[in-house]
Amino acid sequence: MSETGTAGGAGRAAWSDAIDEILDGDHVVALAYATPAKGVVILPVTNFGVRDRDALTVTVNSSVGVPKKLERIRQDPNVALAFHTRRHASHERPEYVLLQGKATLSEPLGEYPMSMLERWQRFEPWADASLLWRWWQGVYGTRVGIEVAIERITVWPDLACRGEPTISGVAPLDGRPPSQRVPANGTGPRLSHRRAAHRASRLPHVLLGWIDAGGFPCVAPVSIVGDDAGGILLDASVGLVPPGARRAGLTAHKFGRNVIGQEQRKHTGWLEVEPEQGRIVYAPHTSANYRMPPSRFVYRLVTGGATRLGVPAARRAGLLPERRPKLLRHLRR
């Protein structure tokens, strides 16, 4: 790997025009964050192109109705953003871009889309929605900004991460991460890995994530090539995935234009890499999946309903105010 430039501290250099085109024009970006056990969750999110080249920050956002990832990022702010697909992008650049850095969460903001309306309207006509839909999607539209201060930028020549990457940043590269301690409940699959492999292999984008030697999530594209008794068999560019055994995340997904029509299959689990045998085996331990047809009506219905279900958890996390009993509200009038 080659290193060039700096990405932080005094005199730091902004990323190139080519990288800026990718950061602005990709339709979807993969957000990766750590679990308490130092595994990784990979979550595709809409890319609104919010960034500051001089400050070296990139900002994504999340509804308060799905607070678990916000709590995890609050506990461990080391995150990664993987610009891994050109589907529906506004450009045709070939590079795979991985940004790693520390996240800062904003305060929850109601009607968040209105604060960045021009960019939001790229994907969803929020300003044109009826009052009924705006009410139904109220929690969905109450969001937290996730601003990532970039500490390392890794760029591969193509989306399969073939060839030598260019690395810039102030976060040092500390070599390969050591293997992690074996989980108390064992390393083998804890769900039907053959079914998981079959369903994930039907989707166009498959990403593997782990914690690197510097403590940041790392995300790489992989392909599913089969399964055996130990788990799902993966293939990746030579030398991309570190040898050894560790907790890891695996996410497969697809999305339509304006993210209308989606499918995601997200797993956490155990990864074993044996370079001598050429084997990469992933044993899924947990699963979180969903699929939505390409319908804006269904999209609004589901996003509004799903985030409403997360209101109690959002209140416990302090992302929404506690609801006062009706009698107390009456007495305070």
Report the chain's mean pLDDT, rounded to a whole number.
Answer: 91
pLDDT tens digits for range 130-144: 999 999 999 999 999
Q: Which pLDDT belongs to residue 16? A: 94
Could you tell me the fold of the domain covering 2-9+17-170+179-331? Pnp Oxidase; Chain A (2.30.110)
Confidence band, pLDDT 50/70/90 cuts, at residue 210: very high
Classified as helix, coil or strand, 303 is helix
What pTM value is reported for the model? 0.92
Q: Which pLDDT belongs to residue 10? A: 39
What is the mean predicted confidence (pLDDT) over 102-125?
A: 94
What is the mean predicted confidence (pLDDT) over 53-82?
A: 96
| Closest to 85 (Cα-Cα) out of 73, 95, 75 | 95
Q: Which pLDDT belongs to residue 12? A: 55
Higher pLDDT, 93 or 14: 93
Dig out the tokens for 241 from the structure.
């995935």
pLDDT higher than 50, residue 11? no
Domain ranges in the chain?
2-9+17-170+179-331
pLDDT higher than 70, residue 2? no
Confidence band, pLDDT 50/70/90 cuts, at residue 151: very high
Higher pLDDT, 212 or 171: 212
Confidence band, pLDDT 50/70/90 cuts, at residue 172: low
> CA-to-CA distance for 185 and 113, rounded, in angstroms?
43
CB environment 290-312: b (16+ within 10 A), e (fewer): eebeeeeeebbebbbeebbebbe
Higher pLDDT, 195 or 321: 195
Q: Which pLDDT belongs to residue 325? A: 54
Q: Which pLDDT belongs to residue 305? A: 95
